[in-house]
Amino acid sequence: MTRDRVRVVIVDDQTSVRDGLVALLTTVPELEVVGSAGNGTSALELIELEAPDAVLMDLRMPGLDGVQTTERLARDHPDIAVVVLTTYADDESVLAALRAGARGYLTKNATRADMARALQAAVADHVTLDRQVQRSLVSAATRGERLDAASVAPPGGWPAGLTEREGEILCLIGAGLSNRDIAARLFIGNATVKTHVNRIFSKIEVRDRSAAVAYWRRWRGPGEADTT
């Protein structure tokens, strides 16, 4: 992004909250609020017109909710960063938003500075989670809900000199996940996933994703469980 300020659309179904966020973020010099919407459908129409850099997205809305709207944006406008701002910090809500393509997740006790930092980070392809959200994910992990089933190296280690992260991503490629799906699952940026994928392709000496999947299947061998 070459603009001096991050252009932002705000989406929230509560008028008072939406207007408050507009007024609050308009005072941030690094941001330019270019519009607001009260539901997902209106948001998508507004985004088509304004082409913002980022969207501050409520999660629970009537009709097209925040997760569904984020999925649409990830599919049709992958360069537009979404940061969720919601009252819900349970792990189910967090994971749904991140898997949909959100690059940040804040609760509504976030400060103006928190929101500004998260929006700027999201545009730079970094994921921001506030502390309450991080605690929710840690709690899910300690209950045995494995957020990443590919994270444990197999006996003998990963092939072709792959690092643990590269081996993990190779498994997810083999399971059919896209770069964006992998980014959401591992809570890393899309650019980071792309860098890892390029390194994986170089190490296992393949040129494209289909060849990587074929390599993974040969290496995994018959009878092994999928990673998803």
Residue where one domain finishes, among candidates 141, 173, 205:
141
User: Phi then psi for 28, rounded to 5 degrees?
Assistant: -90, 115
Please report, for the domain that includes residue 201, its CATH number. Answer: 1.10.10.10
Please report, for the domain that includes residue 101, its CATH number. Answer: 3.40.50.2300
Instruction: Please give the average per-residue pLDDT across 79-86, as a whole number.
Output: 94
Give the tens place of pLDDT for each residue, 37-48: 999 999 999 999
Give the tens place of pLDDT for each residue, 199-208: 999 999 999 9
Instruction: Please give the average per-residue pLDDT across 76-86, as a whole number.
Output: 93
Range of the domain at 40: 6-141
Give the tens place of pLDDT for each residue, 104-159: 999 888 999 999 999 999 999 888 888 777 766 666 554 544 444 444 456 567 88
| In-domain check, residue 149 | no
Domains held by the chain: number: 2
- Rounded-to-integer distance, Cα 151 and Cα 164, Å: 7
Share of the chain above pLDDT 70, in %: 85
Q: Is the pTM of this model over 0.85?
A: no
Q: In 158-220, which ranges are continuous DSSP H helix?
A: 164-174, 179-186, 190-204, 209-220
Residues 91 and 184 in one domain: no
pLDDT interval class at 186 (50, 70, 90) = confident
| In-domain check, residue 216 | yes
pLDDT interval class at 50 (50, 70, 90) = very high
Residues 136 and 183 in one domain: no
Residues 31 and 61 in one domain: yes
Residue where one domain finishes, among candidates 88, 114, 141:
141
Residues 80 and 183 in one domain: no
| Residue 159 vs residue 15, higher pLDDT | 15
Residues 74 and 29 in one domain: yes
Q: Is there a contact between 57 and 84 (Cβ–Cβ < 8 Å)? A: yes
- Rounded-to-integer distance, Cα 220 and Cα 226, Å: 10
Residues 124 and 60 in one domain: yes
How high is the mean pLDDT of the chain? 85
Residues 197 and 117 in one domain: no
Q: Is there a contact between 92 and 74 (Cβ–Cβ < 8 Å)? A: no
Residues 122 and 216 in one domain: no
Whether residue 222 has pLDDT greater than 70:
no
